[in-house]
Amino acid sequence: MVPLWMYLVVAAALFSLGTFGVLARRNGVAVLLSVELMLNAVNINLVAFWRYSAPTEIGGFAFAAFVFVIAAAEAAVGLAIIISIYRSRHSVIPEEADTLKG
C-alpha cells in the first residue's frame, strides 16, 4: 500500500481547497459546497488513520460512519436556511444576511 502520509497530503490539499471556497465564494450555496469538501477531507483522514493505525478496532470505522450522518444533517439544515434567506431577501450572499448584526 502507499504510505500513510500520501493520504494525509491529499486530505490536506482537499481541506485547503475547501477553506478557500468557504472564505472566498460570494454565494451561500457555494460556501456550503466547500464545507462538504472540508468534511470529506476530514473523513479521508479518519479512514486512513483507522486503516493504518488500528484496522482491527471498530471505533475509527464507526467514527467515520457517523460523520456521514452529521454531514447529511448539516447539508439539509444549511440549505434550508439559505432557501429561507433567499425567500425573505432575494439574495444568497451571506454578507447581506445581517439582520442580527449589532
Partner 1 sequence: MLELNFVTVAFFVFSLITLGGGWGVVTNKNLFRGTIWLMVSLFGVAGLFLTLSAPFLAAVQILVYIGAIAILFTFAVMLTRSLTNLRERYYRTWVNVLGAGALFLLLVLGVIAPVWIANPDRALPVSDQVVRTVDFGVALASGEGFVLPFEVASLLLTAAMIGAIVIARDADEA
Binders of partner 1 among residues 26 to 65 (CB under 8 A) are 26-27, 29-30, 32-34, 36-37, 40, 43-44, 47-48, 50-58, 61-62, 64-65
Dihedral sign, Cα of residue 83, residue 88, residue 91, residue 94: negative
Three-state DSSP state, 13:
helix
* Distances 24 to 19, 42, 96, 99 between C-alpha atoms, Å: 8, 20, 15, 21
CB of 33 to partner 1, least distance (A): 5
Three-state DSSP state, 75:
helix
Residues 62-91 that bind partner 1 (CB under 8 A): 62, 64-66, 68-77, 79-84, 86-87, 90-91
Three-state DSSP state, 57:
coil
Number of residues in contact with partner 1 under rule CB under 8 A: 74
By the rule CB under 8 A, 2 interacts with partner 1: yes
CB of 27 to partner 1, least distance (A): 6
